Amino acid sequence: MSDEVFTRDLCSWLDANLPASLCTAMPEDEIPWGGSRGRFPNPDTRRWMDAMAARGWTAPTWPRMYGGGGLDATRAAILQQELRRRGARPALFSFGLWMLGPVLLEYGSEAQKQRFLPPIVRGEARWCQGYSEPDAGSDLASLRTKAVDAGDHWRVDGRKIWTSYADEADWIFCLVRTDTGRKHGGISFLLIDMKSPGISTRPIRLISGSSPFCETFFDDVAVPKEHLVGPLNGGWEIARKLLQYERQNVAAAGFGGELKRIEARARQLFGIDAQGRIADAALRERIAHADMYEYATRLTMQRAQREVDAGQASSASSVVKYAAAHANQQHYELMIETLGYEGLGWQGAPYETESLEQTRKWLRSKGNSIEGGTSEINLNVIARRVLGLPGGA
């Protein structure tokens, strides 16, 4: 089958299977997270996920034997392009898809791949990530949640923090300590069923209000031996790969792009001048400035992506996380400024729902320079890896 034929078939399949209601902006509560507790307020969301999953196109490049689409890079790009052209919502949001899958494909045993990958592709199993601990944040490798060899199973005890959606997830992939004698060399990568006795979660409230973050507690949790991924005490290498992946992910997610809204509000709040521009010259120029910064950041992202795609090491990619956090925070500072009195509200009338939401997003954006590696740690990393400066902390 030629690429042309593939494209033609794809188009007619999309015409038949992509519901019109999913070619619109995606509200928060219709994100297709899947999982055993998946919620689909719009039944089309479910239909679309199932249809895509049936073809393996929720994971287009994964091998067909694990439920994936088995597409090469060209066809995956065609698929992307056609979906984008139609403004289709993603069929599935999933940490399993973005993070665990690539790890299993590289480090997992054949049995693990066969067992865990297909439910991810189909959106049946929802995964969360158990990395940070209260005393192991920037210094992740000092983690202490321990897995002790109990003969035919592991016994896990400890506490993870910042486990997004742990209260919704079916499974968790975890870094655990299997050797207390060595720091980086005593960490293993373990898959744990969230239904296991001894696991509990507690949601974390942020300054911006409720959040998907949880604390997750492991109290004498039994985990089958075969759920260890990669070699015993070989978890740190996997973790590093995954963290890198997370950094890019965090950088790209929720980054700017609402300047139009800010401009509209600014016109409303400050009025317009004779040329129809925002009357407040200083604010107008600050918006232009933020726009330029976002744009330059976006161009740098693209450059990094191009270099990564071309198989080169990209020094630009290390810039992206930092710059994107900064751009997003600056963005919401402008937003809150244009909200005026509306930005003082916390809940309820007379405040507009949208204003309240923007205010909370502004507060939430303060976390951008903390999550997925603080900006300070990120600068340390760039100093060492890109500039080759001597290591300190």
Residue ranges in contact with a copy of itself by CB under 8 A: 281-282, 285
Per rule CB under 8 A, is residue 133 in the interface with another protein?
no
Between residues 59 and 301, which has the closer beta carbon with respect to another protein?
301
* Interaction pattern, residues 16-45, with another protein; x per rule: CB under 8 A: ------------------------------
- Cα–Cα distance for residue pair 30/21, rounded to 1 Å: 11
- Please report whether residue 212 would count as binding another protein according to CB under 8 A: no
Residues between 135 and 194 with contacts to another protein, criterion CB under 8 A: 135-139, 142, 161-162
| Cβ atoms < 10 Å from Cβ of 247 | 21
- Residue 151 or 392: the one with the smaller Cβ distance to a copy of itself is 392
Pick between residue 63 and residue 137 the one whose CB is nearest to another protein. 137
Question: Rounded to the nearest whole angstrom, what is the least distance from the CB of residue 333 to a copy of itself in the complex?
Answer: 17
Radius of gyration, CA atoms only, the chain = 23
Q: Which does 263 bind (CB under 5 to 8 A by kind): a copy of itself, another protein, none?
A: another protein
Region 192-211 residues binding another protein, contact defined as CB under 8 A: 204-208
* Segment interacting with another protein, rule: CB under 8 A, options 148-156, 168-176, 220-228, 377-385: 377-385
By the 8 A CB rule, do 190 and 156 touch? yes
- What type of residue sits at position 192? I
Give the contacts of 61 (CB within 8 A, at least 6 positions apart): 68, 69, 70, 71, 72, 73, 76
**What is the full DSSP assignment across 163-227?**
-TTTTT-SEEEEEEES-SS-SGGGEEEEEEETTSTTEEEEE--BTTB--S-EEEEEEEEEEEGGG
Q: Which residues pair with 136 in a beta bridge?
A: 133
Q: What is the torsional sign of CA 389, 144, 251, 347?
A: negative
**Part in contact with another protein (CB under 8 A); list of ranges 7-15, 220-228, 229-237, 311-319:** 311-319
Is 380 near another protein (CB under 8 A)?
A: yes
Q: By CB under 8 A, tell whether 257 contacts another protein.
A: yes
Q: Name which of another protein, a copy of itself, none residue 343 binds, using a CB cut-off of 5 to 8 Å depending on partner kind.
A: another protein
Return the number of the residue (195 or 260) whose C-beta is nearest another protein. 260
CA 45 to chain centre: 20
Query: Rounded to an integer, what distance in angstroms lies between the CA atom of residue 386 and that of residue 272?
Result: 46
Kindly tell me which of 112 and 164 has the beta carbon lying closer to another protein.
Answer: 164
Both tokens of 211, joined, read 């959040």
* Closest distance to another protein from the beta carbon of 213 (Å): 8
Q: Which stretch binds another protein (CB under 8 A): 51-59, 72-80, 110-118, 336-344?
A: 336-344
